[in-house]
Amino acid sequence: MRSFDVLVLGGGPGGYTAAIRAAQLGARVALVEARELGGTCTNRGCIPTKALAASAHLLERLHQAAELGIELPAPPRLDFARAAARRDEVVRTLREGIAGLLKAQRVEHVRGRGRLLGPDRLRVEGEGGAEELLAERGLIVAVGSEPARLPMLPLDGQRVVSSDEVLAATDLPRRLVVVGGGVIGCEFASIYRAFGVEVTVVELLPNLLSTLDPGLSAALKKAFRKAGVQVRTGIGVEGVEAGADEVRLRLPGGEALACDQVLVATGRRAATAGLGLEEAGLELERGRVRVDERMATAVPKVFAIGDAVGRTWLAHTAAREGEVAAANALGHAERMRYDAVPSVVFTSPELASVGLTPEAAKQQGREVEVGKFLYNGLGKALCDGVADGRVEIVAEPGGGRVLGGIIAGHEAGALIAELTLAVQQGLTARQVAETIHAHPTLPEMLMEAAGDCFGLAIHRAPARKR
């Protein structure tokens, strides 16, 4: 039996981050992963999706070229096979980069499927046989997640697929029905519509992106309507009939939607089954490991992070959880905060949020002011031809602490970083407003919205008193 200071089970963004941080803190570390390094995010999630989104967004911009005075010799045309090849190359590059980082930090990558034999050891079964590994100081469970399954929509990998199959595809369907109006479903709907596919989104709940601010949901629904994405909310699915030439998705009342492919995007579930977690004493709730703010489980020296915990289902949350778990496994004292975790939806337009919404603040009994600014009031947005969007900042009255905010529009995913920093560090709206922002740039909207929280935005007309 080989021993290490820290064992990490799972090589996704949480797992490899935990392994690297533990090594940086002086530990001898082994990372156990049976599949590709990088986990779902790098190989079957964030990265390949955003590589396709980059192609989709550029294609949309090229269609707007005439508005900026540029005449193209021919209408822009998508070569999806080349876009897919680029997607795969980006994934390969990042996966190799992760391997290089682990090697540089002297983290041993043990290839195989791991299972807990107790609170301090793993049995790993790989191509070369099985071995047992001992964790002397800490064991971190970072096993990730897998697409959720619906019994009435069995996957066949061709006509009825999950995001895994979509992100391995080298051709496009003519008609796509997306079952699920959450982040995954909406991102694919946006990308595929930009590629010219006829897209319909079917969602059981009343709104798209039901876990996010209602304003973001409304902004996306408006954008989908403009782009030609059909949205059917508040409706369930009864079954599917896959034939040789098309798929028929059965809806209530005898209605059916005909298409070439159905994408089942109804969320993800923790991949914790069959790993010996409960036998080792870990507490699970609906398949997710229960942890405290140190990412510690009920078993001493055992930690869990990422989708195995399922607090936010975000790669960047998993990475920070990995840093916290690694530090605590080695005797440091760190705590995980969830009040300043940004969320980004890479649709067109991009949608981003962080911290409290006005509704959430009200439920907590907190009085807040909401500062607003529109993209079409900003010089840089008008210059770039991206004037559709808005920023909202939630802050304590009188220009007090920034508690949260939302952004819907071009580069929302990048812009939300400033608001995340403000929430994390307890900055006030007045401090943000008094910080000089370069002109002309998009971040000026954050300065203006912060000023609007206490009635001193320069480029926004005051609300008329009634």
Residue 456 in tokens: 């001193």
β-sheet with 239-242: strand ranges across: 239-242, 247-250, 256-259
Alpha-carbon distances, residue 359 vs 230, 362, 375, 424 (angstroms): 29, 5, 23, 20
Residue keyed to tokens 């939300």:
416
Question: Three-state DSSP class for 341?
Answer: coil
**3-class state of residue 152 by DSSP:** coil
Beta carbons of 349 and 407 less than 8 angstroms apart: no
Q: Determine the residue type at 415.
A: L
β-strand 129-141 against 302-304: which pairing, if any? parallel
Question: What is the C-alpha separation between 466 and 461, in angstroms, rounded?
Answer: 15
Spatial CA neighbour of 68 closest among 384, 378, 410, 375: 384
Active site residues: 439
Please answer whether residues 353 and 416 qualify as being in contact, where contact means their C-beta atoms are separated by less than 8 angstroms: yes
Buried b (16+ CB within 10 A) or exposed e, 381-409: beebebbbbbbbbbbbeebbbbbbbbbbb
Instruction: Give the three-class secondary structure for 411.
Output: coil
CA distance 297 to 293: 10
Positive or negative, the Cα torsion across 395, 401, 403, 404?
A: positive
